[in-house]
Amino acid sequence: MKLCRKNGWCYILTQKESRQKTVGEMYDWICKEGEQNGKKGICREKGKGAYVNGVEETAGKTEKMNVYEYEYETEKKGKRQKVKFQWITNIEVTVRNIEELIEAGRGRWKIENEGFNNQKNGQYRISHINSRNSRAMKNHYLLTQIADMVMQLYLCWSPMIREARQSIKNTSSRLLESFCRHTVSEEDVLYIERYTTVYLS
């Protein structure tokens, strides 16, 4: 948080009881007093968002801590259950921007669940130790990231592949075969040069 403040950055952090216990307690206390704001029927689940700005003042913290949460009901194995997310941010939360902030907060979960989780437990199996050399491990992970990006681009480019619901293993095998069979022509290179722009910052 100090680093973000120093550089003028905004942050959205997942809030859990084990991380900012005092902040969580103060947020709950403020909510019980009925001083929180909220909005219903938002996001794709049509759940409820609630927020309190300036919780750090009550919690005795120095860094800016606006707390907001999102709660919705879902059905799992024939039973209704509640799902709840909570975040801390230095962005002022309002009725107008709470849905956008919720989507931004959940985006981190999506990266973790659909990105890293797929790499760890899916086909890439990066949780398996394949070397004791740190440089080799870094190189292996970098290649895994590149392979995963190519796969995601491939799946996004061809909706029919997603509709066919073939396994990731078959999809990756066919993609590898296409690299071997189809050579890059001069026309392909010209197309890339014409429609691709690289920005260096």
What's residue 92's pLDDT?
A: 96
Is residue 45 included in any domain, yes or no? yes
- With contact defined as beta carbons under 8 Å apart, do 19 and 44 qualify? no
In a domain, 106, yes or no: no
Range of the domain at 20: 2-94
pLDDT at 159: 67
Q: How far apart are CA 38 and CA 144, in angstroms?
A: 42
| pLDDT (0 to 100) of residue 73 | 92
Tens-of-pLDDT digits for all 201 residues of the chain?
A: 889 989 999 999 988 877 788 898 899 999 998 888 999 999 989 999 999 999 998 888 888 999 999 999 988 888 889 999 999 999 999 999 999 999 999 887 777 667 777 777 766 777 777 778 889 888 888 888 888 888 877 777 766 766 666 666 677 777 778 778 877 788 877 877 777 666 655
Q: What is the pTM of this model?
A: 0.62
Confirm whether 103 is domain-assigned. Answer: no
How much is the CA Rg of the chain, to the nearest whole Å? 23
The pLDDT score that the predictor gives to residue 47 is 94
Residue 180: per-residue pLDDT: 80
Q: Examine the domain organization and report whether 68 and 129 are in the same domain.
A: no
pLDDT at residue 130 in the model: 73
Strand, coil or helix: 94:
coil
- Judged by DSSP in three states, 58 sits in helix
> What is residue 68's predicted lDDT score, i.e. its pLDDT?
95
- Give the chain's domain count: 2
* Same domain for 130 and 88: no
Residue 190 located in a structural domain: yes
